[in-house]
């Protein structure tokens, strides 16, 4: 679970920073020295059996003594919970600390320097909460702040743009991909660059959809007004002949049913949240950060402003039971 000393909306006991400590990494048993003499076939078979048994014991020991520290996840608001939901399904043993910067949502209209400052501040709070790795569950922050976070943080950082770009390139049949996102994400050209690195022959059409995040934050997921606004944003992409659409904001998967109704089956929707979760799974295995197999994955949520529609949307749209919410102050 996340460890910190900040009061929550409903008070609870917390752990001081002096009590925090990382769980030890499991060690790999050294190899036995080779035999001085050539053994018979029976001895070789016995040695192989012993070696396999030793490896199985080591794997079991490693699974029990893995890294139980939480994954830190942040977004400007509720959108990052789509990543949390995907992580919970894919990695049920992993504990997660989620920090939503609801006091400053949305990030999409902010300058690059402001988004970088916000992201560093939020990431520092997640470090205080003992995160073992950080997931930037925000396309705007991934586009504008990921290199800064990777340079300055002492732990690994995963964004949502690269996984989404890989999935889109794999999905397209006609080589024509659409991207929708916040103004800042679209202006950055991050998806165009990521897709071009994978396949320079793919054509990308990107469109900013600045009204969607406020509608989602207010819980207007199934509304005639939302459908009308969506159609205004999506029609030009349909006319342009895209066969794949990247939901380039982690808020947008909450509108996936509505977007699917409007676009039909001819357009494949790429959910950056789902693909980000897969990238995190690979990173944990690669960096030896997987939680113990007997760990019960906890979910702790903190916000920078008191929750309003946040909990209702989390429950109704994502079936996430959050419980108490901590409040964290930001400058």
CATH code of residue 170: 3.40.50.1860
**CA pair distance 252, 270, nearest whole angstrom:** 11
Q: Could you tell me the residue range of the domain that residue 218 belongs to?
A: 161-272
Within a domain: 246:
yes
Strands 133-136, 71-75: pairing kind: parallel
Within a domain: 310:
no
Tell me the average pLDDT across 140-151. Answer: 98
- In the numeric block, which tokens belong to residue 185? 């994400």
Is pLDDT above 90 for 176? yes
> pLDDT per residue over 264-284, tens digit each?
999 999 998 899 999 999 999
Phi, psi of 325 (to 5 degrees): -125, 130
Within a domain: 234:
yes
Within a domain: 244:
yes
Is pLDDT above 60 for 192? yes
Instruction: Report residue 23's pLDDT band, with 50, 70 and 90 as the boundaries.
Output: very low
- Show the 3-state SS of the chain: CCCCCCCECCCCCCCCHHHCCCCCCCCCCCCCCCCCCCCCHHHHHHHHHHHHHHHHHHHHHHHHCCCCCCEEEEECCCCCHHHHHHHHHHCCCCCEEEEECCCCCCCCCCCHHHHHHHHHHHHHHHHHCCCCEEEECCHHHHHHHHHHHHHHCCCCEECCHHHHHHHHHHHCCCCEEEEEECHHHHHHCHHHHHHHHHCCCCEEEEEECCCHHHHHHCCCCCCHHHHHHHHHHHHHHHHCCCCEEEECCCCHHHHHHHHHHHHCCCCEEEEHHHHHHHHHHHHHHHCCCCCCCCCCCCEEEEECCCCCCHHHHHHHHHCCCCCCEEECCCC
Within a domain: 217:
yes
**CA pair distance 137, 295, nearest whole angstrom:** 23
Instruction: Report residue 53's pLDDT band, with 50, 70 and 90 as the boundaries.
Output: low
**CA pair distance 82, 150, nearest whole angstrom:** 23
Is pLDDT above 60 for 288? yes
**CA pair distance 255, 36, nearest whole angstrom:** 67
Q: What per-residue confidence (pLDDT) applies to 48?
A: 55
User: By the 8 A CB rule, do 133 and 67 touch?
Assistant: no
Per the structure, how many domains does the chain have? Answer: 1
Contacts of 231 (CB under 8 A, 6+ apart): 262
- In the numeric block, which tokens belong to residue 38? 């050539």
Is pLDDT above 90 for 317? no
Is pLDDT above 70 for 3? no
Phi, psi of 316 (to 5 degrees): -75, -40
User: Among 31-40, 113-122, 251-260, 303-312, which stretch is predicted with the lowest mean pLDDT?
Assistant: 31-40
CA distances from 306 to 109, 187, 190, 310, 329 (A): 22, 31, 32, 9, 11
Q: What per-residue confidence (pLDDT) applies to 312?
A: 86
Cis peptide before 106 (omega within 30 of 0): yes
Question: Active-site residues: which are they?
Answer: 138, 249
Q: What per-residue confidence (pLDDT) applies to 14?
A: 36
Tell me the average pLDDT across 73-79. Answer: 95
Within a domain: 291:
no
Within a domain: 256:
yes
Within a domain: 108:
no
């Amino acid at each position: 679970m996340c460890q910190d000393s900040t009061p929550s909306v409903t008070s609870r006991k917390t752990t001081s920073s002096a009590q925090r400590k990382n769980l030890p990494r499991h060690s790999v048993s050294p190899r036995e020295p080779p035999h001085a003499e050539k053994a018979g076939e029976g001895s070789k078979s016995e040695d192989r059996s012993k070696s396999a048994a030793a490896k199985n014991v080591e794997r079991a020991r490693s699974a029990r003594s893995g890294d139980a520290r939480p994954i830190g996840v942040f977004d400007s608001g509720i959108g990052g919970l789509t990543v949390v939901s995907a992580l919970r399904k894919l990695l049920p043993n992993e504990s997660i600390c989620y920090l939503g910067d609801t006091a400053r949502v949305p990030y999409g209209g902010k300058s690059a320097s402001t988004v970088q400052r916000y992201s560093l501040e939020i990431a520092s709070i997640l470090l205080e909460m003992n995160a073992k790795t950080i997931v930037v569950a925000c396309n705007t922050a991934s586009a504008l702040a990921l290199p800064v976070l990777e340079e300055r943080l002492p732990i690994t950082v995963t964004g949502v743009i690269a996984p989404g770009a890989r999935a889109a390139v794999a999905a397209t049949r006609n080589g024509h991909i659409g991207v929708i996102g916040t103004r800042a994400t679209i202006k950055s050209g991050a998806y165009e660059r990521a897709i071009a690195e994978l396949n320079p022959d793919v054509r990308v059409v990107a469109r900013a959809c600045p009204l969607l995040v406020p509608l989602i934050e207010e819980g207007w997921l199934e509304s005639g007004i939302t459908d009308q606004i969506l159609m205004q944003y999506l029609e030009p992409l349909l006319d342009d002949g895209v066969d794949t659409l990247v939901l380039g904001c982690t808020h947008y998967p909450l509108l996936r049913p509505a977007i699917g109704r409007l676009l039909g089956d001819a357009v494949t929707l790429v959910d950056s949240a789902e693909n980000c979760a897969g990238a995190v799974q690979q990173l944990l295995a690669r960096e030896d950060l997987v939680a113990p197999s007997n760990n019960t994955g906890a979910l702790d949520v903190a916000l920078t402003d008191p929750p309003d529609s946040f909990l209702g949307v989390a429950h109704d749209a994502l079936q996430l039971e959050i419980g108490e919410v901590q409040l964290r102050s930001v400058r």
